[in-house]
């Protein structure tokens, strides 16, 4: 299960074209930080609005935070130990095909 790290504010991830959200796994022996990048396409799909900039993406995230967190936790449960690292941090994407 994942929960959002309240100490880290969501940020724009330019290369992955999405919102970089830091979450913490709270299962297992030691919690670890996980990067979840919600693509702008996924944000647009759940909000039914065009997401073209960071302020709009942040508004969408705040509005749908519970759904995004639940979707990230569910995907983490499915892929668990198979998460790859990106820029030295365990990372996975939430995209339009993921249930949010």
Find all residues with CB under 8 Å of 77, minimum gap 6, and list them: 1
Residue 99 belongs to some domain of the structure:
no
Residue 90 belongs to some domain of the structure:
yes
pLDDT tens track for 6-54: 888 999 998 988 999 999 987 666 678 899 999 999 999 999 999 989 9
pTM as predicted: 0.88
Q: What pLDDT score does 29 carry?
A: 60
First to last CA, the chain: 15
Find all residues with CB under 8 Å of 86, minimum gap 6, and list them: 16, 35
Residue 27 belongs to some domain of the structure:
yes
Q: What is the CATH number of the domain that holds 29?
A: 3.30.160.140
Range of the domain at 76: 2-94
Residue 14 belongs to some domain of the structure:
yes
pLDDT at 89 over 80: yes
Confidence of residue 1 (pLDDT cuts 50, 70, 90): confident
| The total number of structural domains that make up the chain | 1
Residue 100 belongs to some domain of the structure:
no
């Amino acid at each position: 299960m994942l929960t959002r790290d309240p100490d880290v504010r969501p940020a724009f991830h330019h290369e992955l074209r999405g919102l970089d959200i830091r979450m913490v796994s709270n299962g297992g022996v030691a919690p670890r930080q996980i990067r979840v990048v919600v693509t702008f396409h996924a944000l647009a799909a759940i909000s039914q609005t065009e997401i073209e900039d960071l302020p709009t993406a942040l508004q969408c995230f705040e509005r749908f935070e519970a759904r995004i967190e639940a979707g990230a936790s569910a995907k983490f449960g499915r892929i668990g130990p198979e998460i790859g690292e990106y820029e030295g941090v365990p990372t996975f994407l939430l995209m339009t095909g993921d249930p949010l």
